[in-house]
Amino acid sequence: MTDAATGQFCMLEDYALVRVQGADAADFLQAQLINDLSALSPDRHQLSGWCNPKGRLLAVLRVFRDRERWFLRLPTELLAPTLQRLRMFVLRARVELQPLEGRWSGMALWGPAAADGLRAAGLPAPAGTDTAVWHQETAVLQVPGRRFELWGPADALRAVADACAAAGFGAAPRTAWELEEIRAGLPEVYAATREQFVPQTLNMDLIGALSFTKGCYPGQEIVARTRYLGKLKRRMYRLRATASATQAGATIYRPERSGTDPAGTVVRWAPAEEGIVELLASLRVEDAEAGGLRLADPAGPALERLPLPYAVTVEQDPTGHS
């Protein structure tokens, strides 16, 4: 019998891994991604991103590693275009990029007793947010909110899921984890929003997912220039609406200013309860502060702002400290 007070788990079937290995793997990734990998050890992981030359995000990536291999976690729908484009930059570098779709799988585990669920499956629990532990071929990552992502061979994770179920954890729908990610204020890029967002407009500088001191990467000049402007015009906010559904890339309006001029874009969303959705949206700061926002149509459902677990600031430090 499951107990909601214990915790929940779900499989991350709509996410995939890219394995990056070879003598030049670390240097290759450091030259491509927006966060600093130089100090990332096997007991840590980080959120990062990959931009086009215009500084627009092609993907948001969770990056982790063991001693020899690096792993990039991203939505499955972005796996093929991301691999195709990344391989264009390999050139003569000693790097191998391999999708692990179907061979490895992902699982999420959360709730008050989530660490107990890991122990029931014979797995160690990471020590804190953004830490990682390995048990044989399975990586356990603690993400914000004392929640866990697990990545490993598919049969190993099936055994973990069985152990969690036997320990009283409930099998949750995938949308329940999406809601947890939204409440943690973590951004995502999907096929519908690829190449739409500069990293700061998804708060990536506020959550340790963007470095201004690491050196060059595609789009770095644009991202840095946005910082030196001093004050951002767009940030990511958490909202809710009385609606049955929406979609990433949906438009948000503030009719009081101009009914046809968009105020922002839905980044990710999930059902919160019957007839209610929660979402993250990249919005013009002035519109977010003014309120009166509407979802998908100037006459669409009204949006209410909700708190995030971190402060959303618009002033930026032009000295380059991250």
- The DSSP symbol for 181 reads H
pLDDT of residue 43: 97
Write the pLDDT tens digit of every residue in 126-142. 999 999 999 999 999 99
Q: Is the CB of residue 304 less than 8 Å from the CB of residue 281?
A: no
Amino acid 199 reads: P
- The DSSP symbol for 39 reads T
pLDDT of residue 103: 85
pLDDT of residue 292: 95
In this prediction, residues 225-241 reach a mean pLDDT of 88
Domains of the chain, first to last: 8-183 (3.30.1360.120), 229-306 (2.40.30.110)
